[in-house]
Structure formats: C-alpha cells, structure tokens
Amino acid sequence: MTLTRSQVVRLLAEHGIRPSRALGQNFVADGNTVRRIARLAGVGPGDRVVEIGAGLGSLTLALAETGASVTAVEIDRYLLPILRSVVEPVGVHVVEADALTMDWPALLGPVAEPGWGLVANLPYNVATPLVADLLDGVPQISRMLVMVQREVGERLAAPVRSDAYGAVSVKVAYWAVASVVGRVPPTVFVPAPKVESALVRIERRPSPATDAPYDRLFELVRAGFAGRRKMLRRALAGLVPIDAFEAAGIRPEARAEELDVEAWGRLASCAP
C-alpha cells in the first residue's frame, strides 16, 4: 500500500511541515505513479535498492512492495520521523544523509560488490551533478531510474546531434546507456511543480564506452561544449593540434554536438 494524496496532505499538516523550495520538495501523491516507477526500475525480490530523497515514503512503499531490499536516504531531519514511521514497519532501512556528500561505500559496501539499483525523485538543482557523481564514483550502483525535470532528463539521455546533447550527455554515455522511459505530469505531486517530469533509465556499461584517458577526454568535452557554436578547431585551439583531427577521423570544422562519445575518445587519444 502506498500513500494517497489525502494521506500526504494529512501527514504534512499533522506535523506542521511546509515543503521546502530550497530542497526541491515535491512529494509524489499518486499510487499508480509510484508503482509505475517501481515497475520501470525493474526491481523485485532479492534486489538491493537505494532511494535518494525518500520524503514521506510513498515511492519507498512501492519499492518495498516489489520484495526488494530497500534503503531510503533522506536529508531533511524534519521529515525523518514521519518517514521512519511510514516505511520501517515494512522493513525499509532509513538513513539520514546528504546524497551529494555521503560515504557511499560505507552504505553500499565495497566496490567489488556491484548490483545495486538506485531509484529517486530528484530536485532539478541537484539532479545533474548527483547523477554524474554517482556514475563517476559509485560503481556499486549498476542501474538507476530517476525522476527529474523534463529538460534535465532530456539532457541526460540526449542522442548526438540533438538540441539537448551536451557535456553531461557525453558523461552519461561514457559510463552508461540512458533513455527517457516516461513522463510524469505536475498533477501527481504535492505541491504541484510548474514543470513536467521525465523518468530516465540509466544502465551502467560493463566498461566505459572508450578507453581514452578520462581526464583528457572530459577536458576536451568541456572545452568543446563551452564553445559549442564554434568549429572544434577554434573551440579546442591550444588543446588539440590540427593534425590530431585527421588522425581521429574528425573534421576540424565539426561542432561539439556532432561528436558521439566514441569520437570524443578518438580525439582525446590522438591529442594526449
């Protein structure tokens, strides 16, 4: 059983809590939506799932319903007593922490133990850096299903040559395969946000998409997209000699959004 809209409103009122804009709090208050998210996350009995920003526990309950082992992370100390009262009776482990700074190995175990899934309703202001940090530094997490602002979701999963394609799209593609698997209207939240949300599935690759040196690769990616309207020979002037473009099979006149992650990798390898 998950929380209904009336239950969400009542819990907030009983505890005198007003959703925090600073924390981007918009609580999902629709049982069909949270069960849909759990289904799209592909979790079930025997799976280990961590949920970031569990809030009042509506999505948490839907994840627990699948039979998965669920760990819920929440930063808001005012919500924690409510969350614990809602989800601990069904076996969920609740942790008070900031997902951007927490000790992930202490929570999930050593790097040699991958296989965790992550499910989260992420506020727009932390979604991009958090997903990037998790891909970079938390290999224990093998797959994610995140609900984010639609524009953010489109950037995370953007294909090459699309308007949304940018540096974060390359970062995600380096580590994983991502796709937008659903949309969520504002009406299912309390309070209702002013934007539509997207559900993004991210599945970590067995190995990165290219074996180019990581630091060099993303130095070029950042520089290229910082001047995305420029030809690469200008955007990367001083970083990439002109002959490296030919060696990598890339036109110097191309622009950043024309290169997929493998092409960026070739360029980084040819211009070490």
Residue 117, beta-bridge partner list: 49, 143
Q: Is-contact 224 236, C-beta < 8 A? A: yes
Q: Is-contact 197 181, C-beta < 8 A? A: no
Q: Of the residues 169, 204, 239, which one is the last residue of a structural domain?
A: 204
Both 69 and 183 in one domain: the answer is: yes
- Quick check: is 209 in a domain? no
Indicate whether 112 pLDDT > 70.
no
Helix H or strand E segment including 72: strand 69-74
Q: Of the residues 204, 239, 261, which one is the last residue of a structural domain?
A: 204
**What phi and psi, each to the nearest 5 degrees, are found at residue 179?**
-155, 150
**170 burial level (CB within 10 Å; 0-12, 13-18, 19+):** buried
Identify which of 108, 133, 131, 125 has the alpha carbon closest to the alpha carbon of residue 200.
131
For residue 22, the enclosing domain spans 5-204
Indicate whether 18 pLDDT > 90.
no
Q: Is-contact 33 198, C-beta < 8 A? A: no
CA distance 47 to 64: 10
**58 burial level (CB within 10 Å; 0-12, 13-18, 19+):** buried
Both 153 and 248 in one domain: the answer is: no
C-alpha dist (Å) from residue 4 to 8, 36, 62: 6, 15, 12
Structure tokens at 160: 């090459």
Both 182 and 243 in one domain: the answer is: no
Both 112 and 171 in one domain: the answer is: yes
- Amino acid in position 68: A
> How many domains does the structure of the chain reveal?
2
Instruction: Dump pLDDT digits (tens) for 191-241.
Output: 988 899 999 999 999 999 999 999 999 999 999 999 888 999 999 999 999
The pLDDT of residue 21 is: 75
Q: Is-contact 27 189, C-beta < 8 A? A: yes
- Local confidence band at 123 (pLDDT 50, 70, 90 cut-offs): confident
Helices 58-65 and 80-87 cross at an angle (nearest 10°) of 30
Both 195 and 243 in one domain: the answer is: no
- Local confidence band at 70 (pLDDT 50, 70, 90 cut-offs): very high
Q: Of the residues 182, 204, 226, which one is the last residue of a structural domain?
A: 204
Both 110 and 220 in one domain: the answer is: no
Lowest mean pLDDT among 23-32, 157-166, 227-236: 23-32
- Local confidence band at 62 (pLDDT 50, 70, 90 cut-offs): very high
- Local confidence band at 245 (pLDDT 50, 70, 90 cut-offs): very high
Q: Is-contact 172 148, C-beta < 8 A? A: no
The whole-model pTM stands at: 0.94
- Local confidence band at 266 (pLDDT 50, 70, 90 cut-offs): very high
Both 244 and 119 in one domain: the answer is: no
CATH of the domain at 258: 1.10.8.100
